[in-house]
Chain A
Amino acid sequence: MLQAITRRLKREKRGISTVIVVMLSLVLLVIIVGNVVLWSYQMNQLDWEKIQERIDVINAQFVNETWAQNPTAYALKGSTSWVSGDLLDLAADDDVYMTFRSYYSGTAASYSVDNDLSNVDSSSDKGTQSNFTAQQYGPDSIYDTLTEENTAVASNVTLINAESFEGPWPPSGWSETSAWNKENNHAYAGIYSADFDGGSGLAGVLATPDLDTSDSAAIYVDFWYRDDGCESGEFVLQYYDGFFWDTVSDIGATLFEGQWLHYQETVTDSQYFRSDFRIRWSTNTNYNNDDAYVDLVTVTKEAGQTNYELDLEAQWTNVDYTQANEELAIYVNTGSNSYSLDATGGYMLVGDGTADWGSTTGTISFWIQWDTVANRPWGQHTDMEARFSGANLVLDWGGTSSLTSSTSFTAGKWYFIAIVWNENTNDLYLYVGDQDNPPSQDVHNNAWTGTVSTLGVTQNNFMASRGGLDPTDGHGDDLRYWNIDRSLPEIQSDYNTQLTGSETNLRSYFKLNNNFDDVGPDNNDGSSVGGYSFSSDVPFGFPSTENLRVDVWTGASWQNIFTDLTNGWNNVSVSSYLTSSTFTIRFKGSAETSDNVQDSWDIDVALLRVGAGEYTSEVEFTGLSNVEEWTQLEWTTNVGWTTGSVNVTLQLYNFTLDGYPTSGNGYIAYTSDNSPNVDETISQTIDTNPTDFRNATGHWKIKIKGTKAGATQFDLNADWIAIREARLGTIVTFENGGSLTTHLVSLWVNNPTSHQRYEMNFFIAPGETTSYFGNNIVLPAGSYTLKVSTERGNTAIFSED
């Protein structure tokens, strides 16, 4: 056929122009027709789809929901320190505060204290220091513990004054049995002596009255005795220890019979320092001619007077004293660990017992003092517990006998124990410390193949294991669970310091200060089972009852600059005292007479700051809200400052931007009132993307920061911190009765005075009835018409009268 066409073309006399015209005409014709047909089809399709659409508005309902929260945790920023109050105080504007102390953030030169060797007042030191070097660095939770010294001078008190049995028998308060009597056949002093005449195997005792030796440092016993024929064991001297008569001397065993002998003893054994101490002479199975005599009894006690004092100097020797701003700064840990749990057959239930501490990585630590080294101090599962084998602690951690301590534990001593594990690196550690030594690695298994993260919980117990198995007898304190494997330096940094509970990765924290509260984020408040009490015997951080003063040496005398060092930073200007390169202070107890309580204080660091100063207080509060579709967010702080004109920034964390805003929504900056201690309520309402300020689980964070130049340390008094969310809008319910998916593009809310259009972008599948929440769509009071338009141009109307 192709050949035929070619032949015909060759034979055709008409030119190529005819062919071109014909071909192009055909092409144009096809284009025109095709275009029109296709376009017509497309528009018809559009019209057809519009006809097929069936959208109805079923209902419209105005929604106005609000939620409000207060912080549930806080984190101290910089070196800000907590002073007082707790998170519950932030729930209302009620002048009940949570207080935080600012820290030094200036650029002045710092001079650490140089020595504790000075003696500017020619008065010897009183008290002891545990580690003066600790005062030269920090704050680092490594303390120099200042402990009061007993400076009282002892004096003697006569309890029995030369009793020679001259008066009525027995002397007042004395007691005797059997053949003890007073006789005048032998006497060392006077006419009579106390005499026991033997018979047919007679036995009897002569005892003094109760002697109050409870405040004694020593008891001096002095008497004369005579042994006429007594054998060993037949005439003995005994002391009462509260339970038993202890034989202290077999005075009848003497070879010097028939003569008066002098007995003298100084008793220093504290078991006899009692309010009911007694002395007795006991005769046993004495026969005829086995006679015993006692005369001229004198008992004296060295009165154990106590008066604890502290007077310790600290000195700087090379300080720049030419600057205008000169400040003494001392960081103190006054201690707030008031109680420990004294388990006597009972134990503690962690949460409701189901708290699972079996994470992939973790650290469980606690302080413990065993009364009896036995049983199980902690456990939640047969393969996740600590138990004793002899005096060694065995960890069943993901299996049996995963680790055995090298330390042999003893009773009556506080130990710090930390169990650290990491399933990913196959490491299992046991760290052990005590009151005198920071924790160190006791034993390490670097090929640990156990798994605790999948075990589950039988029952989580402290001072017993898994359901109250083998309760251990002793004191427990400061139980912590972290969901990370803490390093030894991390553990050492806070093992003897009370935490706030909001430290990163700390999940549960039981201070056991007279309660079983879990102040960690897991909030697994515990309870007790069986016998227990709370005891004031604590391993660290016992709060002092006495004020610790600080005086400065003026060159001639001491001048007081702190009446009581409080927890955290204590700052005071010393410009008027720093007049040379040498500067001396002393730590002084506030009760220096008749002080029967030996107090101690932990000094972290002592500094002199010279030059431009600035203080900052910065705290981050976190709370938990919800993941509702908020349309508005209002955050409020009501705080005051103990000094005026503090530069304050308030920030609400923007989780979408992953940071604290520095302007706009989520950021407020102001200068506080000129006067100190003025509470100011500051709030901000956010209508644009309020959900940016929470994370996927509904958590939010507010940071409060106050800064002021100068040498005055100040406190932040947080009275009320709140966040309030609102969901304001209208829920409209649509029904798609057609066979096509419908795209809703606009919503109208009309009444005679207003026609308000809202953009929509909402799809409804065929046959579906679904609700749409319109942010900030407000339905007017009275009658209105609600109208929705589809992308294809259809409209549905809903009316409310």
Chain B
Amino acid sequence: MRRKKVKKFVKRFLRDKRAITPVLSHLLLTVVAVAVMSLATSATFVITTNLKETMGERVIVEDVWFNGATGTVDVYMRNVGKANIQVSGVYVNHVGQSFNGPFLLEINDHGWLRIAFSWISGEAYYIDIVTTRGTHVASYYKAP
């Protein structure tokens, strides 16, 4: 009984006048479309994630201490944004300075950023702290 059914199917398939090419072409086109859209989706995810992190960066300076004992400028920073941050550069009066890098702050984290800079009492300094995503935290601070 089962053998009869298989025979019948093969006979019908061989008698069919339509070609197999259109079927294959549709299938291939579908696969290509899905692949392209997957790439597009991934790219969208990457783009939106970066965009969100860049938009979500908020970091504040709680305190700036012109530390006479160490001769450094100590900046206490707190991450109040929605993304982790990393300080990529510190500029005092637009001149890059070395600091205790890598300086990473997770969300709600806080800590001292120690800038190796010989400050002079009574002088005002423009301190610009830049994150890896390009966010700037900058202001004037006067040494006591």
Contacts and interface: CB of A to CB of B under 8 A. Distances in A.
B127 to A, nearest CB: 16
A757 B62 CA distance: 10
Interface string A21-32: 100110010011
A39 B49 CA distance: 10
A36 interface: yes
Interface in B85-124: 110
A1 interface: no
Given A15-B30, A752-B68, A757-B62, A39 B51 contact: yes
Contact of B47 (A32, A750, A757, A791): A32
A637 interface: no
Nearest to B32: A17
Interface size classification for chain A: 20 to 34
B52 interface: yes
Interface in A747-801: 748, 750, 752-753, 755, 757, 787, 789, 791-793, 795
A117 interface: no
B37 A755 contact: no
The listed residue with most A CB atoms (<10 A of its CB), out of B68, B74, B78, is: B78
B68 A20 contact: no
A755 B65 contact: yes
Given A31-B48, A789-B78, A753 B41 contact: no
Nearest to B53: A39
A43 B56 contact: yes
7 shortest interchain CB distances as A-B pairs:
A793-B60, A24-B37, A17-B33, A17-B29, A755-B65, A793-B80, A35-B48
A746 interface: yes
A20 B56 contact: no
Interface residues of B, number: 32
B134 interface: no
A34 to B, nearest CB: 9
Given A20-B33, A43-B82, A755 B74 contact: yes
A40 interface: yes
Contact of B62 (A25, A40, A46, A748): A748
Contact of A28 (B41, B65, B76, B144): B41
Contacts of A24: 33, 37, 40-41
B51 A21 contact: no
B133 interface: no
A31 to B, nearest CB: 6
A795 B60 CA distance: 10
Contacts of B68: 752-753
Contact of A793 (B29, B63, B65, B78): B78
Contacts of A793: 58, 60, 78, 80
A728 B75 CA distance: 29
A757 B44 contact: no
B55 A39 contact: yes
Nearest to B38: A24
Interface string B50-74: 0110011010101101011100001
Given A24-B33, A28-B40, 4 more contacts: A17-B30, A28-B37, A32-B48, A750-B65
Interface in A28-86: 28, 31-32, 35-36, 39-40, 42-43, 46
B101 to A, nearest CB: 21
A755 B62 CA distance: 11
Nearest to A18: B33
B19 interface: no
A746 B74 CA distance: 17
A16 interface: yes
B5 interface: no
Contacts of A745: 78
B40 A16 contact: no
Contacts of A16: 26, 30
B30 A789 contact: no
Nearest to A751: B144
Contacts of A787: 62-63
A748 B48 contact: no
Contacts of A31: 44, 48
Given A36-B51, A39-B51, A792 B80 contact: yes
B44 A21 contact: no
Nearest to B47: A32
A795 B76 CA distance: 13
B1 interface: no
A21 B35 CA distance: 10
Nearest to B66: A752
A40 B41 CA distance: 21
A752 B143 CA distance: 10
Contacts of B56: 39, 43
Contacts of B67: 755
B51 to A, nearest CB: 6
A248 B93 CA distance: 131
A672 B47 CA distance: 75
B6 interface: no
13 contacts: A16-B26, A17-B26, A17-B30, A32-B44, A36-B48, A746-B110, A750-B63, A752-B68, A755-B65, A755-B67, A792-B80, A793-B58, A795-B62
Contacts of A46: 58, 82
Nearest to B57: A43
A90 to B, nearest CB: 48
Contacts of B10: none
Given A39-B55, A792-B80, A21 B36 contact: yes
A506 B52 CA distance: 70
